[in-house]
Amino acid sequence: MNGEKTEDMMTDALSEDAERELAGVPENLREETAEDAPELAEHDRIAELEAQLEAAKQDVLYAKAEEQNTRRRLEQDRQNASAYAATGFARDILSVADNLERALTAIPEELRGDDQFKGLVAGLDATGKEIETVFRKHGIERIEAIGEPLDPNRHQAMIEIPSDEAEPGIIVQEMQRGYMIKDRLLRPALVGVAKAPNA
């Protein structure tokens, strides 16, 4: 008997709770809401799964883009390492080329025609030309200086020279040759730049 009363009381309490929940819902929607509840829950779940799928697609796209960027960077680094591997050695050998050029310049004209020195001079000339050929083969090019406007990316001005013949800022003297290795500066040309005679 007491068990039946307890069950009736629980059923009444549940009914009251259900009535309270439905109190704010219009009469004509009460049945639809009860029927649509499983569909709404399923619709929400599908929307959530679609959002997760979209997020996963974006993550995959970002990961692929990052992989391509990393691959490009590594390829660029590899190419640079290959192209500029000789930079340190080239800088060191420039002083040898400078000394050879000075030696050739220092030979007086009368000795160039002397039979005793002809072979020596010819050998030094051939060595100088061979060095230039090797430089070109490895992408090392001389920087043009005389008659060019001063370019701080390739030339280093050491002195200003008053000149009537050259416009101010034009290179009129080269103290030391400059060189590029491919598109990079290996050594700037040390130059003298024209200035107005009165300046």
Would you say residue 10 lies in a domain? no
Nearest residue to 156 via CA among 132, 190, 129, 128: 190
Residues 57 and 92 in one domain: no
Q: Of all helices (H) and strands (E), which one includes residue 163? A: none
- Per-residue pLDDT, 20: 52
The number of beta carbons lying within 10 Å of the beta carbon of residue 188 is: 20
At 27, give phi and psi (nearest 5°). -55, -45
Burial of 168 (0-12, 13-18, 19+ CB in 10 A): middle
Q: Does one domain contain both 129 and 160?
A: no
Which pLDDT does position 14 carry in this prediction?
A: 46
Q: Do 128 and 151 have their domain in common?
A: no
Domain-terminating residue out of 83, 99, 130: 83
**Is 176 in the same domain as 149?**
yes
Q: Which positions of the chain have pLDDT values less than 50?
A: 2-3, 10, 14, 22, 25, 28-30, 32-34
Q: Which amino acid is it at 58? A: Q
Domain contains 50: yes
At residue 197, the pLDDT reads: 80
Predicted model pTM: 0.57
pLDDT tens string 27-45: 544 454 445 566 677 878 8
Q: What is the CATH number of the domain that holds 179?
A: 2.30.22.10
CA–CA separation, 150 vs 172, rounded Å? 10
Task: Looking at the structure, tell me whether residues 90 and 47 fall in a common domain.
Answer: no
Residues 112 and 165 in one domain: no
In a shared domain, residues 64 and 111? no
Question: What's the pLDDT at 189?
Answer: 94
The reply to whether 76 and 99 lie within a common domain is no
- For 54, the domain range is 25-83
CA distance 150 to 170: 6
The pLDDT tens digits for 42-64 are 878 888 888 888 998 998 999 89
Whether the Cβ atoms of residue 155 and residue 177 lie closer than 8 Å to each other: no
In a domain, 132, yes or no: yes
State the virtual CA torsion across 96, 102, 108, 112 in degrees, nearest 10.
Answer: 30
Domains held by the chain: number: 3
